[in-house]
Structure 1
Amino acid sequence: MMAHDLQRLALQGLAKKTGISKDIVDYIVCGTVIQEVKTSNIAREAALGAGFSEFTPSHTVTQACISSNQAISTCIGLLASGQASITIAGGVEFMSDVPIRHSRYMRSLMFDLNRKKSTGDKLGIAMKMLSGKALTPELPAVAEFSTNEVMGHSADRLCAAFGVTRKEQDEFALRSHTLARKAIDNGYLTDVLSFKIPGKEKVIKEDNGVRPSSMEQMAKLKPAFIKPHGTITAANSSFLTDGASACLIMTEAKAKELGLKPKAYLRDFLYVSQDPKDQLLLSPAYATPRLLEKVGLNLGDIDVFEYHEAFAGQILSNLKALDSDHFAKKYMKRSAKPGAPPLEKFNLWGGSLSLGHPFGATGVRLATTAANRLIKEDGKFALIAACAAGGQGHAMLVERYP
């Protein structure tokens, strides 16, 4: 099994649920982060495997944790420019089998081996291949390339800067798991597909990382990054998981022509970027007020908020930044604080802390959850936001379809 298999299943599930003919889709865009070299354009391989027309173009985008957000906005651009009328945006990550490369030294020896003619020369290179230097594998990077700092370390520093305590983080993480468990038990997560792993008997019917615990149990965990005084732990961080997502996006005219009732309008969006060293995870704080100003709405006009939960401390730091006059004036160049989203509207069906964070797939989950919550909660507007590696971020306004 490979990553494109997960994306293939998401595409097939979407086609089955919506009843859309696979032959009439104009374009497919999928996001992913850690790419499998055998399927570099994973959107195309997944689309072909899912039975979509060979005449449907597909391409893959990557923008760290907002890769499928980028897939969605790319589809919006295709629709707005008249290049397409029916599109699918998706995303996938397969953390169970990330590509691990030979070391650069081993790779250079392999190339040299192909060029050598004599047996003696080949044996000499073969002996070098058995060295520890050659055999040490090269793992996918977990640190920011520009700063060489892992995201968890940056989150710890962010929490210290905004005065977010370990207790606050654990409380928010427990909230996420508790709300996710409630949403699953109440049947709210209707877009989740059951999945059977090849060679295994058990059928996976729900996300297996949802584990409501207790503050006492969470307090026992040691810091994961800055030791011994850090506040980021495994319990208040999003976890790595496998997953794929897909959503159907088309013009309103085409939906009416096909007799389909949309869940929501994707009204507007924007991307932001900041200093990847000291403001790596603060994109939601920058993106939220900018998007509201762009669409002419106030914070109180938003009924549903869906933010990507990279870390509990990251979410709480963004909320504190949005509610800080000092931060607004010094860093956002605003006269006053924009204000933070109220928690009674915020991530009420859990989030990445509890449901997991398959990098390339999370953005579509945010958008579809926002749309589903608007229907369930009888709201009109939803705002989604997410941070990403490189100090980048995204926000989008979703409006319930009447």
Structure 2
Amino acid sequence: GGMENMSQAPHIIRGARWGLALGQGKLEDSLWEGLTDSYNNMPMAITAENLARQYEISREASDEFALRSQHNAVRAAKDGYFAQEIAPVEVAGRKGPVVVDADEGPRPDTSAEKLAKLPARFKRDGVVTAGNASGITDGAAAVVLTSEEQAKRDGLEPLGRLIAWSAVGVDPDIMGIGPAFAIPQALQRAELDLNRMDVVEINEAFAPQVLACVDELDIDQNRLNPNGGAISLGHPLGASGARLAYTTLHELRRAGKKFGVASACIGGGQGIAAVLEAL
């Protein structure tokens, strides 16, 4: 598992430890280190813009996908689907302890009209906006991974089985396409095909990035991110991988299904995928 505290990422002045001989130091937002490719110094959103251009994905299609993510997450939360996934956390509030037991990301009032009014943030004629990109959020996720033999010895009832996994390298300029190549490789190792997957989870870093993967893989969107994704729930970078696997297994068990695949793109030019079986 992992965690990310994006809301408290510090501002830094490089070289200030030993003093600044002349002039003032430049204050930098350290959060951008995780949102900028270290190889080509390209913001992650621009890699999504590159995919939008390459796969001819429109602003309207991106906003439509974002709206779907919001609607699915709001419905799932209302129906209690996330209750088993979320561990309540008690935090200190101004008027006493506050229990946080629900994600703050889903926006029930999201509409196509509101999304259409948001400006493109990274490119004048671009498609990526604050509404169709993953949210800046805090979060943590963890899973316990063990062997079948150890689980039996410890009397544990596993949620599922990790059948196979894969990590691939792709061009950093279009890093978001990574899942489209990691998923087939993981499925090949599992000796299964995409049509056998009851649930397909692709991390929603950006709407055009997911839509490019959908186009490359020819995925039936009825099986894709059925309860929303990072656009609606948020994308705390270090926590999202475990969250995706956990969400996939819970949805398979809830729906009485068997196989699923969870995947994500990775800044720097990678894709990762895991094929899972609910037990």
**TM-score over 0.5 (shorter chain):** yes
Paired position in structure 2 for 1:368? 246
Residue 356 of structure 1, aligned match among 234, 256, 272: 234
Distance 1:193 1:267 in 2: 26
Paired position in structure 1 for 2:152? 256
RMSD over aligned Cα atoms: 1.5
Paired position in structure 1 for 2:183? 288
Distance 1:231 1:188 in 2: 31
CA-to-aligned-CA distance 1:27-51 (integer Å, 9 cap, x gap): xxxxxxxxxxxxxxxxxxxxxxxxx
Paired position in structure 1 for 2:52? 159
Distance 1:294 1:103 in 2: 45
Paired position in structure 1 for 2:17? 107
- Offset at 1:204? 2.4
CA contact 2:198–2:260 (8 Å) conserved in 1: yes
Give the letter aligned to residue 119 of structure 2. Answer: K
SS in structure 1 at match of 2:122: coil
2:214 aligned with 1:304: no
- Give the share of equivalent positions with the same residue, in percent: 36
- Offset at 1:364? 0.7
Equivalent positions of 1:161-180 (< 5 A) are: 161-180=54-73
- Offset at 1:100? 2.9
- Offset at 1:203? 3.1
- Offset at 1:258? 2.2
2:115 aligned with 1:218: yes
- Offset at 1:195? 2.6
Equivalent positions of 1:337-356 (< 5 A) are: 340-356=218-234
- Offset at 1:196? 3.3
- Offset at 1:300? 1.1
- Offset at 1:210? 0.3
Distance 1:200 1:306 in 2: 38
- Give the TM-score normalised by the residue count of structure 1: 0.65
CA-to-aligned-CA distance 1:298-320 (integer Å, 9 cap, x gap): 21111111110001110001111
Paired position in structure 1 for 2:85? 191
Residue 397 of structure 1, aligned match among 265, 275, 279: 275
Distance 1:309 1:258 in 2: 36
CA contact 2:105–2:232 (8 Å) conserved in 1: yes
- Offset at 1:163? 0.8
- Offset at 1:102? 2.2
- Offset at 1:248? 1.5
Distance 2:58 2:94 in 1: 42
2:213 aligned with 1:318: yes
Unaligned runs of 5+ in 2: none
- Offset at 1:187? 0.8
2:5 aligned with 1:91: no
Paired position in structure 1 for 2:29? 139
- Offset at 1:376? 1.1
2:144 aligned with 1:266: no
Greater relative contact order, per chain length (Cα 8 Å cut-off, separation 6+): 2
CA contact 2:261–2:274 (8 Å) conserved in 1: yes
Which is helix-richer, 1 or 2?
A: 1
Give the letter aligned to residue 224 of structure 1. Answer: R
Point out 4+ residue stretches in structure 1 off by more than 6 angstroms: none
CA contact 2:164–2:187 (8 Å) conserved in 1: no
- Offset at 1:145? 1.8
Distance 2:262 2:89 in 1: 27
Which of the two has higher C-alpha Rg?
1
Give the letter aligned to residue 157 of structure 2. Answer: K
- Offset at 1:400? 1.3
- Offset at 1:397? 0.6
Distance 1:351 1:99 in 2: 27
Equivalent positions of 1:10-29 (< 5 A) are: none
Number of aligned positions between the proteins: 272
Distance 2:92 2:12 in 1: 25
2:75 aligned with 1:182: yes
